Chain A
């Protein structure tokens, strides 16, 4: 069953995330692909995340396909204009990529090539439209393609954005532009997320809750202070603190597993997207503790 079919069948879907290497040594990426194979429905391959130059997402996706794992191509608008984006999308489809996550992309000022010229010829909403037109056999300029695509395209939403309403306006625009699934920015307050889902359920889209494993109270505070759109509630920080020295990660995995169980058992949304930044090895354990 493909990622799309799994979501459409109503199955509780789990996706994970892998960042391609900074360099050509793909051994670690392969290890993570093998580790997650058969456990998650699909793996997102990040696109020069945080504007740090790495191997491209497309290569990661192609390698995943080769190893029998379904990839989700993350595509940002920071590094390519509309010609580059469309051309990569056609290439991705030919290489067996079926799902795309359209994003704007972190600004170059966040990354390791700060003097780069940011592109943003189009942005996430428009990129969704582009995918939609490729799916209809035409490029965005209206030219007919010799063979179109049949992508399952999605976007990102930040349920904890402050202020929230501009973010929701954009969420609705993404749906208008053709988004069929969403993977959210990391959520920690499940009750607030439930509220968001009550709203999101008004639209014909599938939503996977983004989860980032907390490793310590310090990390939680860092996320709260510096990372946009993430709010770790004080109770969770207290829980991490109470776990004691050296036990933070174990507690963090517990919390993550607990959230997955709650989201699944209460049918809050359609699945989860585990962003295990740096601890991809722990994903099977998280899933096991969540009873998946």
Chain B
């Protein structure tokens, strides 16, 4: 899921200081699991804004904020609340925020969250990053552990000289991705796959933003 974190409230207040009335949009997917955009957070933010002397015209927890058409449909029922607000606050990831930007051309839209990364939830609301969506997955060659993401240097051919007792030079809390890969491949008795050949320089164009993709089957003309 997409990991998001609430921005500092004072920073948010500063950003929206010129507006008085707001409509809030949360998201029931990732942002809810992250505790940044569920019903609860939408209510809390509404209360906090009111206590700061702001007006809240209404709020919604969109089912999937990054889904433009679905969100548009859901928001139809809130037309008046949205119209009477000077400004929209979106409590999801940056994608959800930009859904609102697309749907409301003439309304300022502000993000209440910072979007962090594509993450795995390892314990309740504790996340780590294992895939950075490089566009051409190599997990089948690295024992299922992603060095592009979990090695801070994204190395493809083994540990750097900074590895110390199995941890990464960037921090003692980060296990060295390449030691993990090595150990897993050894356990699976597949070490020869690691030693076999040099991993060539990657074509990073697969990860070049902005990316777009259509999973629709192309209809013949």
- Please determine whether A161 and B159 come into contact, CB atoms closer than 8 angstroms: yes
Q: Which of B170, B194, B195, B200 contacts A107 (CB 8 A)?
A: B170
- Please determine whether B162 and A228 come into contact, CB atoms closer than 8 angstroms: yes
**A-B contact count, CB below 8 Å?**
97
Interface string of B143-167 (1 = CB under 8 A from A): 0000000001111111111111110
Contact flag A107-B162 (CB < 8 Å), given A126-B201, A176-B198 = yes
Contact flag A104-B198 (CB < 8 Å), given A126-B156, A165-B182, A166-B182 = no
Contact flag A228-B164 (CB < 8 Å), given A126-B198, A140-B201, A173-B198 = yes
Q: Which chain B residue has the least Cβ–Cβ distance from A127?
A: B201
| Alpha-carbon gap, A230 to B162, bound state (A) | 10
User: Given the complex, which residues of A lie within 8 Å of B170, measured CB to CB?
Assistant: 107, 109
B169 interfacial contact with A, CB 8 Å: yes
- Please determine whether B155 and A123 come into contact, CB atoms closer than 8 angstroms: yes
- Please determine whether A123 and B153 come into contact, CB atoms closer than 8 angstroms: yes
Q: Which of A106, A129, A169 contacts B158 (CB 8 A)?
A: A169
User: Given the complex, which residues of B lie within 8 Å of A170, measured CB to CB?
Assistant: 157-159
| Chain-B contact segment, one of A8-16, A114-122, A188-196 | A114-122
B213 interfacial contact with A, CB 8 Å: no
Interface string of A66-109 (1 = CB under 8 A from B): 00000000000010001000000000000000000001101101
User: Given the complex, which residues of B lie within 8 Å of A130, measured CB to CB?
Assistant: 201
Interface string of A168-192 (1 = CB under 8 A from B): 0110110011000000010000000
Q: How far is the CB of B165 from the nearest CB of chain A, in Å?
A: 5
Q: Which chain A residue has the least Cβ–Cβ distance from B180?
A: A166
Q: How far is the CB of B19 from the nearest CB of chain A, in Å?
A: 31
Q: Which of A106, A121, A172 contacts B162 (CB 8 A)?
A: A106
- Please determine whether B153 and A104 come into contact, CB atoms closer than 8 angstroms: yes
Interface string of A249-260 (1 = CB under 8 A from B): 000000000000
Q: Which of A110, A123, A158, A169 contacts B195 (CB 8 A)?
A: A169
A148 interfacial contact with B, CB 8 Å: no
Q: How far is the CB of B164 from the nearest CB of chain A, in Å?
A: 4
A2 interfacial contact with B, CB 8 Å: no
| Alpha-carbon gap, A103 to B161, bound state (A) | 9
- Please determine whether B160 and A104 come into contact, CB atoms closer than 8 angstroms: yes
Contact flag A109-B152 (CB < 8 Å), given A162-B164, A163-B182, A169-B158 = yes
Interface string of B168-183 (1 = CB under 8 A from A): 0111000000110010
User: Given the complex, which residues of A lie within 8 Å of B162, measured CB to CB?
Assistant: 106-107, 228
Q: How far is the CB of A140 from the nearest CB of chain B, in Å?
A: 7
Q: Which of A121, A161, A166, A229 contacts B201 (CB 8 A)?
A: A121
Q: How far is the CB of B105 from the nearest CB of chain A, in Å?
A: 33
Interface size on B, residues (CB 8 A): 30
Q: How far is the CB of B81 from the nearest CB of chain A, in Å?
A: 41
A156 interfacial contact with B, CB 8 Å: yes
Contact flag A120-B155 (CB < 8 Å), given A106-B169, A165-B182 = yes
Contact flag A125-B198 (CB < 8 Å), given A107-B153, A228-B163, A229-B161 = yes
B199 interfacial contact with A, CB 8 Å: yes
- Please determine whether B200 and A126 come into contact, CB atoms closer than 8 angstroms: yes
User: Given the complex, which residues of A lie within 8 Å of B195, measured CB to CB?
Assistant: 169, 172-173
Q: Which of A103, A121, A177 contacts B198 (CB 8 A)?
A: A177
Q: How far is the CB of B193 from the nearest CB of chain A, in Å?
A: 11
Interface string of A202-245 (1 = CB under 8 A from B): 00000000000000000000000001110000000000000000
| Alpha-carbon gap, A85 to B195, bound state (A) | 26
Q: How far is the CB of B13 from the nearest CB of chain A, in Å?
A: 26
Q: Which chain A residue has the least Cβ–Cβ distance from B154?
A: A120
Q: Which of B152, B169, B182 contacts A169 (CB 8 A)?
A: B182
Closest CB pairs A-B (n = 9): A170-B158, A228-B164, A125-B157, A166-B182, A126-B201, A104-B160, A122-B201, A120-B153, A123-B155
Q: A166-B159, A169-B195, A228-B163 are in contact. List 17 more A-B contacts (CB 8 A).
A: A104-B155, A104-B161, A106-B169, A107-B169, A122-B201, A123-B155, A123-B160, A125-B157, A126-B156, A158-B161, A162-B165, A165-B182, A170-B157, A170-B158, A173-B157, A173-B198, A176-B198
What are 14 A-B contacts defined by CB distance under 8 Å?
A103-B161, A104-B160, A104-B161, A109-B170, A109-B171, A120-B153, A126-B199, A130-B201, A161-B161, A163-B182, A166-B159, A166-B179, A170-B159, A177-B198
